[in-house]
Amino acid sequence: EMQLVESGGGLVQPGRSLRLSCAASGFTFDDYAMYWVRQAPGKGLEWVSHISWNGGSIDYADSVKGRFTISRDNAKNSLYLQMNSLRAEDTALYYCTKDVGGGAFDIWGQGTMVTVSS
């Protein structure tokens, strides 16, 4: 069974950093692009970042560009999101998702909650 499990969320003060992790299993991790998508409480879905299968292509939403860094370790079947200079508006449930092969997201983790507050 294909599975994604996020971790690393929590309560953090504005301006501080947090690193999210996503452990993948049940599929050949390095065959697929991966993404982070977030959802603020009671709101819709927002794409955050993308990384290609080998890390050679990376993109970010304007709202996080310059503050967040996506990376992956194919040997460990893991995806990461380093979040610096956190703001209150970054408060959200962060999902790790897998590319179906053409750009849609077919597998989602259960999400990890990030709360930015003093």
Partner 1 sequence: EIVMTQSPATLSLSPGERATLSCRASQSVSGSLAWYQQKPGQAPRLLIYGASTRATGIPARFSGSGSVTEFTLTISSLQSEDFAVYYCQQYNNWPRTFGQGTKVQIK
Binding residues vs partner 1 (CB under 8 A)? 35, 44-47, 50, 59, 61-62, 95, 100, 102-106, 108-111
Q: Quick count: other Cβ atoms within 10 Å of Cβ 114?
A: 21
Q: Give least dist CB 45 to partner 1, A.
A: 4
Q: Give least dist CB 91 to partner 1, A.
A: 18
Q: How buried is 112 (Cβ within 10 angstroms: 0-12 exposed, 13-18 middle, 19+ buried)?
A: buried
Cβ distance to partner 1 smaller for residue 1 or 118: 1
Cβ distance to partner 1 smaller for residue 72 or 109: 109
Determine the Cα–Cα distance for residues 9 and 117; give it in Å rounded to an integer: 13
Tell me the two tokens of residue 60.
């970010």
Q: Give least dist CB 16 to partner 1, A.
A: 25
Q: Give least dist CB 86 to partner 1, A.
A: 20
Cβ distance to partner 1 smaller for residue 9 or 109: 109
Backbone angles phi, psi at 74, to 5 degrees: -65, -25
- Non-local (6+) Cβ contacts of 46 within 8 A are 37, 38, 39, 40, 61, 63, 92
Cβ distance to partner 1 smaller for residue 99 or 116: 99
